[in-house]
Structure 1
Amino acid sequence: MTAICLVGIGKIAVDQHVPAINGSDAWELAATVSRAGTVDGVPAYTDFEQMLAERPDVNVISLCLPPVPRYGYAAKAIAAGRHVMLEKPPGATLAEVHALADMAKAAGVTLYTTWHSRMAEGVAPAKAWLADKEITAAHISWKEDVRRWHPGQNWVFEPGGMGVFDPGSNALSIITEILPMPIHLRSAELFYPSNCDTPIAAQMQWTQNVTGDFDWRQEGPQSWDITVETTQATLNLHDGGARLVIDGVEAVVGPRAEYPALYARMAELVEQGQSEVDLSPMLHVADALTLGKRVMLEPFVL
């Protein structure tokens, strides 16, 4: 088993990363680093540099911090010769992730930019089914309640927090994976509460008749859906890619195991001495922030 350190013990780490690591024969959760969070029975640090110095046995670092501080931690880990796994989105900017990729290559360590929604059970079969189809239209509807998923996490509305594009990047990671042709953004409207630096909602239009509607104000049932229309039939991905429906018939795709699949892939990359850095979802975020028309809203209190 390979010793791994989990940095940033918040909701996503507790809900997803810890169970995925503990359920794998490839990994041992040997340490954590967090200002406040801990995992029972695991040595806990509050200082990352101290952990790196005291734990040379920890070969892999999984970073679950918000995007803005992630670069500094990743750079220190790479400089210390550790392999690095980045929670999505992999950084606050495209340039800093490119820089990390160059550092990892020079140091001979693995860098893995994870996109957990691509590991949803319906995504791979959706990609395979669409591979030879003529696409006529596609639409993303990604709507959830920020208060439910990011309680008290004001960083999501601060510079670098990406706002609704934090969950929206999940949708973008799927659409860029399953479509058999490239798309690029043509226009967008971004909706900003007057007290926030990042958008709470977005409406977008891409080439190839692809549209998207992201919203962080959805109460009640949450919506993570992608519809792709072809000349043969319509494909629907529901529940963030966990359910696949083609021409009204639901496919059998197996149980949800997104984060276990990420850690299995990380184990493969480390063993093979390879990196996997895909920034295509972030390209669409950057384009939206460049092209988007700003629409101002009333203040929003998280």
Structure 2
Amino acid sequence: MTTHTPPPKLRCGLFGAGPWARQAQAPALSAHGGVAFTGVWARRPEAAAELATAHGVTAYSGEAGVAALLADCEAVAFAVPPDIQAPLAARAAAAGRHLLLDKPVATTVAAARATADAARDAGVASVVFCTLRFAPDTEGWIAEQIAAGGWFTGHVRWLGARYAHGVDSAGPPSPWRQAKGGLWDVGPHALSVLIPVLGDVTSLTAVPGPADTVHLTLRHSSGASSTVTLGLSAPAGAAGTRVELVGEHGKAVMPRWNDPVTSFRGAVDELRATIRTGRAHPCDARFGLRLTEILAEAEAQLG
């Protein structure tokens, strides 16, 4: 009788102990059957200790803690601001650790390129957690639209009310999100759907709207065009998300997606598969660099 030995668990640490780490990354890593969750690093020791205690893992902080966490794992996940993530990720890659990055990888092209280059030079696997690419319902929908082809144009409206006047947010404002706005926070989500379906962005025009709202018009390598509206400061009644494609087959509207824990678990699965096969993932650090290039060009136009 043949017996199959399950693959060893992937020893994975987490950089970050903020709201997103508490809501998504830490619960997904802790409950994943193929992962040994090793520990949490945070800039604030008390935040690292609180989250680590909740999941029965080791807490790390400070410069010595970075080195200690990297020594205790094979892969690292990130839930820190992008311009803190980028140098940490480059250091982790140089240490031979596989990367499960958050979006955006960085908010400068130079930092995103350094991260992608470090992953390439070290030969480590990388996956960027663009939620819609890993949520079961939306992942399947995107694959269906790629297979169908024949798309003429696409339209994305992604408006949040996080910073709208009079709206109670779930938590304290995130400084980097307040500074960079919807373009950088939810822009990667929109592009992560449009690019695999319509092709890379070959040209763009960016126009400012009210508050942090941005309107993008994109031309894609397939010849299709798309429009994208992004913002975090819409009135509560205007908030919502819609992704629609129009083409030879009529219209296709993206379904609602699952909770972030389920999506992150999917990203972990993809990282493990990438490590096993050695094949680059389509949503890897190099794709994260491309997203940063596009968003930086849009930001420059907004001036």
With the length of structure 1 as denominator, give the TM-score of the two structures: 0.79
2:204 equivalent among 186, 197, 209: 186
The answer to which structure has the higher helix fraction is: 2
Matches within 5 A, 1:161-180: 161=180, 163-179=182-198
- 1:236 is aligned to 253
Shift of 1:24: 1.2
Aligned to 1:259: 264
User: Is the contact between residue 154 and residue 227 of structure 2 (CA under 8 Å) also seen in structure 1?
Assistant: yes
The structure-2 alpha-carbon separation of the partners of 1:28 and 1:106, relative to structure 1 and needing over 3 Å to count, comes to: same
Q: Compute the displacement of 1:130 (Å).
A: 4.8
CA 1:220/1:10 → structure 2, altered by over 3 Å: closer, same or farther? farther
Superposed displacement of residue 19, structure 1:
1.9
Matched, 1:109 2:124: yes
Report whether the alignment pairs 1:214 with 2:230: yes
Q: State the alpha-carbon separation in 2 of the partners of residues 151 and 255 from structure 1.
A: 19
1:87 and 2:102 matched: yes
CA gap 1:23/1:77 in 2 versus in 1, 3 angstroms: same
Aligned to 1:250: none
2:137 paired with 1:125: no
Corresponding position: 1:17 with 2:22: no
Does the Cα contact within 8 Å between 1:184 and 1:284 map onto a contact in 2? Answer: no
Is contact 2:41–2:59 with CA below 8 Å preserved after alignment? yes
Q: Deviations over 1:18-53 (max 9, x none)?
A: 221122111122110111423212211122533423
Q: 2:213 aligns with which of 187, 201, 221?
A: 201
Aligned amino acid, residue 248 of structure 2? T
Counterpart CA distance in 2 for 1:212 and 1:113 is 21
Judge conservation of contact 1:33–1:48 (CA < 8 Å) in 2: no
Cα gap change, 1:12 to 1:108, in 2 (>3 Å)? same
Give yes or no for contact 1:84–1:110 (8 Å, CA) kept in 2. yes
Structure 2 Cα separation of the partners of residues 65 and 229 of structure 1 = 36
Aligned counterparts of 2:202 and 2:66: Cα–Cα separation in 1:
42
Contact 1:224–1:238 (CA<8 Å) still a contact in 2? no
- Report if the CA contact (8 A) 1:123-1:174 is conserved: no
CA distance in 2: counterparts of 1:221 and 1:24, whole angstroms: 36
**1:281 lines up with 2:299 in the alignment:** no
Task: Report the CA distance shift for 1:281/1:100 in structure 2 as closer, same or farther (over 3 A).
Answer: closer
Structure 2's unaligned 5+ residue stretches are 1-8, 164-168
In structure 1, stretches of 5+ residues that fail to align are: 194-199, 244-253, 295-302
Please report how far the alpha carbon of residue 173 of structure 1 lies from its aligned counterpart in structure 2 after TM superposition: 0.8
The CA distance in 2 between the partners of 1:5 and 1:86, in whole Å, is: 12
Instruction: Report the equivalent of 2:37.
Output: 29
For residue 251 of structure 1, what is the aligned residue in structure 2? none
Q: Is the alpha carbon distance of 1:291 and 1:49 closer, same or farther for their aligned partners in structure 2, counting shifts above 3 Å?
A: same
